[in-house]
Amino acid sequence: MRVLSGIQPSGSLHIGNYLGMMKPMLEYMDRSTLFVFIVNLHALTTVTEGDKLAKGTLDAAADFLALGLDPDRCIFWVQSDVPEVVELSWILTCIAPMGLLERCHSYKDKIARGISPNHGLFAYPVLMAADILLYQSNLVPVGKDQKQHVEVTRDIALKFNNIYGETFVIPAPEINDEVATVPGIDGQKMSKSYDNTIEIFLGEKDLKRKVMSIKTDSTPVDQPKNPETCNLFQIYRHFAPRQRIEEVLRLYKEGGAAYGTIKKELVGILWDFFRDAREERARLLKDPGHVRDILAKGAQKARDIAQDTINTVRKRVGLVY
């Protein structure tokens, strides 16, 4: 089984990225053929500073490696290093129905948040479809907000197969309901777009500042609280030891849960949880040439597979004559 997922280098990795993508990816390394890539072409829809994108790409690669991604047990590369994806995206664009793309809520949501509309944002689902179909992916772990894009990929693949014959594997989305929507410090989904994230590799002072600003209600300490609707607990439960989670859960239900105390505890938990990764990341960034070599080797492995697919597609659509 082939499992594929990617992330934009448009900002620092945060704990929502770790829970929603990185942790599942690490688990897939030993039980599937895992494809993990940095989607820098997608990032062009919102990042217009070349230096920022280049640095973000290298930083994201170091983040992945520091968190435990093993390039010898998966295929790990940068999206733009496999140019076949752009060719496939254009071919798919030529059969993608306008109505299908116009119904995509992600584009509407981004425009509503003040992001300048451009064709890249609108056609984002087609490039994502090319990412998935180029490697004949079976499974695509995504958050709830990306599920529709995988469904668009399925529709496009089915239409292509119907027109040109069986060519693409029809992928399926996978959503882990426990981490499908990790709340940010303001209660919305944790997202760089909302500026409500807790970054993994923050300094200790900045980590404390972010955690202490997590929005909570005004329920008195001695009163029962609902852990299911508490942003703080929904983050805390993913990182604290199981026994401690049960103790805090009891305090929520019976009374006695002090938000300030739990926040301070969470600062220490997160700082210790990512300690080894933080040290490994610093080591990797001291030798960026090594990181680039890892990505180049991964790109070659990805390209070997991509070329098989694109050669078949070219023949099917008539670009080989």
Clarify whether 264 is annotated catalytic.
no
Residue by residue, pLDDT tens for the chain (321 residues) are 999 999 889 888 999 989 888 888 888 998 899 999 999 999 999 899 999 999 999 999 999 999 999 999 999 999 999 999 999 999 999 999 999 998 888 888 888 878 888 899 899 999 999 999 999 999 998 877 788 889 999 999 999 999 999 999 999 998 877 666 789 999 998 988 788 999 999 999 999 999 999 999 999 999 999 999 999 999 999 999 999 999 999 999 999 999 999 999 999 999 999 999 999 999 999 999 999 999 999 999 999 999 999 999 999 999 999
Clarify whether 189 is annotated catalytic.
yes
pLDDT for res 291: 98
Domains and CATH numbers, the chain: 2-181+287-317 (3.40.50.620), 202-273 (1.10.240.10)
Which residue in the list 52, 110, 301, 315 is annotated as catalytic? 110
Cα 92 to Cα 82: distance, rounded to the nearest angstrom: 17
Cα 8 to Cα 53: distance, rounded to the nearest angstrom: 10
Which residue in the list 192, 208, 210, 225 is annotated as catalytic? 192
Cα 103 to Cα 99: distance, rounded to the nearest angstrom: 6
Closest C-alpha among 10, 16, 4 to residue 200: 16
Burial of 318 (C-beta count, 10 Å sphere; 0-12/13-18/19+):
exposed
Which residue in the list 108, 189, 205, 301 is annotated as catalytic? 189
Tokens of 72: 């010898």
Clarify whether 110 is annotated catalytic.
yes
